[in-house]
Chain A
């Protein structure tokens, strides 16, 4: 599998989904997973798969002693594998800047030179593809599509690409042509495409001209909460109800609709507070908008939240809102439901396809959204129902089932 993120060091939903899916698939007894990421931190859970870091894979032959390799790489992988991979260097990459182990540096994030980094990823994949034995290549999102194609050309094994998001979702319909080109190329030459929702599947078929038979939907799921997270208590110090937006504050997530709905609600009642958690390129714009609407006394920004903070925020909320304009799946409402928080989501979110016990509105229908917020905060019957039924529903959405669907697709290709 070729991926970009893996917990605990994650930047978005891709890492969570990669983890959940691999963990769910690892429950199948005859499944062995090798997961490639740009830069492992060494604290990843490798109990059910093996992680190979691109920044630990040599592309230039260097005379490295066993002791050095052990010292430098033991934290990430079995040092012996370094030498296996070194034997599979397939071209002269001396012109590139490599370190003393003959490896490239990776940021493992989404830097401005991301195209260069995806290209490097592809070079490294050439070595990995020649070193290991495998039956299927599975590439997550456009960052890894080129390397997936590379691996396919090296080994001749079938390539499955997994679409967690398309450029159309990220840009509200105005795609970057280079990224679009990479995505289109990957889809055109792979053997099967897995989408995280029917919404994404439709985009792939219509905007990337893919034949219907080649594209399947496997909805995401959620990992059960760990006991430590279950134990987190509500920490809110205010008496009022708290309505939360949690996610990147970007165009794709529709934060301005949340602010507009909040304005509507605050016009009528004073017993509700709003929180916008997360950061993003539209954050300053949102702060200005809130001030402009005159609701800053009841509208709060937390900035970026990490790890447990996310759950502390969720557990202190009475309503979770995800007004995404275009959300391929959207795992966070499921996490909110796990924390017994009623959710309002837009019909334009992929998870709306599988969730029943949430309130759904169109992202532009600010009135309906405001009405739903008011209702959950005002009518106890509604909040109670969504809490209980939502929890019950989300507990039945497990990765193991998604893993089985992916496996069925593999079986059809091998």
Chain B
């Protein structure tokens, strides 16, 4: 029995405002509220709200047989709570149908899995807490930022209690094999994997309205017939894409909504089902193992990290950011912690990419900056201010380990003092009682 696994990703970063170096030390608010509000409201109106409604209608029309998964970054949720609460309401409604599975990911849509395991774990926790709070679900399947995955990340995720992940069906890891099966990690055999079928996914998310494509126009019937025509052993079709495909990346006049509305009918006619990732990984046995020594992602031809950490600018900004992570964790200033989350979004590094100089791709379309250098400058200025604030929390001369032990000592002594105080109180009251007894006896 063939089954389609839809998964949609929602993420929007907190874009930074123009932050010159004169601002360092004087101005601790970093975000471009105007454009953040503007962008998310536009996307909500064009994409999220109509898509929520369409998918809810489909679930109701097919009485829950139409299913899919969603992953919404914490940063996007924060913004939507402020600017477009109606999207959150729509997502809550979807969650209540029971046909939508929410996935775990990093709160900031960050690259922390590549450098800082503790931060990675804490971000996934923050994210799942947020999902629990808003949608009353406990995510069971982990999806790392931009599908970034490697053997090390699988190991980390397993130690965090996850046994299911989704990632990219990259050629480098699968070679001749098909992504249309369940796999498991080679070094952590308890970790099951669903891998994205990039061809079927991109047919919708990239090529749907491309009139130079030889299959244009793509109809639901044709699409389902391709899936039906695969060999009978291939049972799982992982169609993972950005939620903005509906209405934003593929504008509504391209017919993307009508395509999606028609899809379930043709699928059920051909005996194809819909499932969520955890259902599939619960019911299917892995057919093989994949070994991924170097991290992969779902970006570019190369499916590597070059978009985020491809050049020296990106690497140096990235390393500078994570140099302070331990210090930030020791601090307990709420604003500082929030800024820490927002500064980690992978998008900031994406804007610094210089790849488009060479491959002529359309990368800069999403960047609010005029050039990668501009992006780097602005980010580094903000980061300098942020680091100064972190350092202001504790003196710079004390190193992290020492600081940690000092903090523990302080903490312990506090407890000790409390204990002693209560003992003292007890003794005092006892003595008082004795005194009272004595005087009364006299």
Contact = CB atoms under 8 A, between A and B. Distances in A.
Interface of A: 264, 267-268, 356-357, 359-360, 367-368, 370-372, 374-375, 378-382, 384-386, 388-389
Contact of B21 (A360, A374, A381): A374
Contacts of A368: 20
B381 interface: yes
B330 to A, nearest CB: 25
Interface stretch (B36-44, B160-168, B274-282, B310-318): B310-318
Contact of A372 (B317, B377, B384): B377
A360 B313 contact: no
B344 interface: no
Given A372-B373, A375-B376, A381 B20 contact: no
A382 B373 CA distance: 8
Given A264-B22, A268-B21, A370-B20, A375 B311 contact: no
A385 B312 contact: yes
Given A378-B380, A384-B316, 15 more contacts: A268-B21, A367-B22, A368-B20, A370-B20, A371-B381, A374-B21, A375-B21, A375-B380, A379-B316, A379-B320, A380-B316, A381-B312, A381-B315, A382-B376, A386-B373
A382 B384 CA distance: 14
B238 interface: no
Interface in B367-384: 370-371, 373-374, 376-377, 380-381, 384
Given A375-B376, A381-B315, A389-B354, A267 B371 contact: no
A380 B313 CA distance: 9
B357 A381 contact: no
B21 A359 contact: no
Ranked nearest first, the 10 interchain pairs of A and B with the lowest CB-CB distance are: A381-B316, A385-B312, A375-B377, A374-B21, A356-B357, A359-B373, A379-B380, A371-B20, A385-B313, A384-B312
B312 A370 contact: no
B282 to A, nearest CB: 45
Contacts of B313: 381-382, 385
A267 B22 contact: yes
Contacts of A385: 311-313, 316
A359 B312 contact: no
20 contacts: A264-B22, A268-B21, A268-B24, A356-B354, A357-B354, A359-B373, A359-B377, A367-B20, A367-B22, A371-B20, A371-B21, A371-B381, A375-B377, A378-B384, A379-B377, A379-B380, A381-B317, A382-B373, A385-B312, A386-B373
A12 B197 CA distance: 60
A357 B357 CA distance: 9
Interface of B: 20-22, 24, 311-313, 315-317, 320, 354, 357, 370-371, 373-374, 376-377, 380-381, 384
B128 to A, nearest CB: 34
B376 A379 contact: yes
A55 to B, nearest CB: 48
Nearest to B25: A268
B188 to A, nearest CB: 34
A268 B376 contact: no
Contacts of B377: 359, 371-372, 375, 379, 382
Given A359-B373, A381-B317, A370 B21 contact: yes
Given A356-B357, A359-B371, A388-B312, A382 B20 contact: no
A389 B376 CA distance: 15
A267 B24 CA distance: 12
A23 to B, nearest CB: 28
Contacts of B315: 381
A117 B9 CA distance: 72
A382 B357 contact: no
A264 B357 CA distance: 31
A285 to B, nearest CB: 26
Contacts of A370: 20-22
B387 to A, nearest CB: 12
Nearest to B21: A374
A268 B316 contact: no
Most buried by A among B311, B320, B377: B377
B376 A381 contact: yes
Contacts of B357: 356-357
A356 B384 CA distance: 26
From A359, A374, A379, A386, residue with most partner B Cβ within 10 Å: A379
Contacts of A379: 316-317, 320, 376-377, 380
A382 B380 contact: yes
Contacts of A359: 371, 373-374, 377
Nearest to A265: B21
A389 B311 CA distance: 10
Nearest to B312: A385
Nearest to A381: B316
Nearest to A375: B377
Contacts of B380: 375, 378-379, 381-382
A368 B18 CA distance: 10
Contact of B371 (A360, A371, A382): A360
